Amino acid sequence: MYDISKYEDAHTVEEAIALLQANPRAVVISGGSDVLIKIREGKLPAAELVSIRGIEELKEIKLEGDETVAIGAAATFTQLTRHPLISRRLPLLTEAAGLVGGPQIRNMGTIGGNVCNGATSADCAAPLFAFNARLRIQGPEGIRTVAIQDFYQGPGKVALGHGDILTAILIAREDYSGFSGCYIKYAMRNAMDIATLGCAAAVRLRDSRVEELRLAFSVAAPTPVRCPQTEELAKGRTVDGILLADIGRAAVSEVQPRDSWRASREFRLHLAEELSKQAVAEACRRAGHESDRESDEEGDGEGGAEK
């Protein structure tokens, strides 16, 4: 049963902000795939909801003048997986969005909700971290832009005040152009699951050397994280097994997974090492890098684990 005491539909962002300002108890609902679960679990008694489902501009996925990809916060995962602009420019995000829940969840759930929920396990978070995504937030004071790493403040905590609406997720050209990526969602099931660990790698190669590496994890810390030291050590290096091993080792030192009944810290650390190697290897392969010893069955990193 859903204990909902009030439900208001906003048709514009301004209206949504006004409705929120008028009601300190109001909670934003978009796809509902997180909010409805909280209500069912009794975590939002007598919930008062402001729906932004009817705001058309929030569903838009478009290219802005400087070739920044702007993804409306209310774009659903299904929309993302099918949008040619995303699959051409941000295939890493297409890959991650296609691994969220199951078809029904992907039809309901939105990328904005995925981020605003503040969960470290959000499937889109690691790719967005890798893309240096910036979040456009509109509030009573106007519009501001926040880097995604500053947006996540802790488990379930994001830099969003009451009355603020995330309107778009922005990815600048220099953050995607020339990159190849790979997202590995490691979960117990191939669908309808949350990640035990998620790993996104984006790499730009020049002459078989790493020009730039971006490595990000979900569920490896209280919030999604990047691995700056690992990225640094990869710079300029030739792509080979030694580099992958170094990346795996370094990545482990940059994550802080928790010990829980779902998975031990030790197991998650092990996965961080394995997945970072595999994700980087696959990203390099997608960037056109071919191993000299591809046929060697001793080789690690036979593609992503979870498709």
Answer yes or no: are the C-beta atoms of 121 and 195 closer than 8 Å: yes
Rounded Cα gap, residues 189 and 201, in angstroms: 22
Residue with tokens 């060697």: 296
Q: How far is the CB of 178 from other proteins (least distance, A)?
A: 21
| Minimum CB distance to other proteins smaller for 11 or for 307 | 307
The residues that touch other proteins, with contacts defined as CB under 8 A, are 1, 3, 42, 102, 186, 188-194, 196, 239-242, 244-245, 261-264, 267, 270-271, 274, 277, 281, 291-294, 296-302, 305
| Minimum CB distance to other proteins smaller for 54 or for 241 | 241
| Minimum CB distance to other proteins smaller for 62 or for 206 | 206
Share of the chain residues as helix, strand and coil, in percent rounded to the nearest 5: 35, 25, 40
Q: How far is the CB of 295 from other proteins (least distance, A)?
A: 11
Q: Which residues of 253-291 are buried (b: 16+ CB within 10 A; e: fewer)?
A: ebbebeeeeebeeeebbbbbbbbbbbbbbbbbbbbebeb
Concatenated DSSP letters for 139-191? ETTEEEEEEHHHHEEETTEES--TT-EEEEEEE-HHHHTT-EEEEEEE-SSSS
Q: How far is the CB of 270 from other proteins (least distance, A)?
A: 6
Q: How far is the CB of 58 from other proteins (least distance, A)?
A: 27
| Minimum CB distance to other proteins smaller for 164 or for 274 | 274
| Minimum CB distance to other proteins smaller for 79 or for 196 | 196
Q: How far is the CB of 266 from other proteins (least distance, A)?
A: 8
Distances from the Cα of 167 to the Cα of 1, 155, 160, 287, angstroms: 30, 22, 12, 32
Residue 305: Cβ-neighbour burial (10 angstroms; 0-12, 13-18, 19+): middle
Q: How far is the CB of 299 from other proteins (least distance, A)?
A: 5
| Minimum CB distance to other proteins smaller for 89 or for 289 | 289
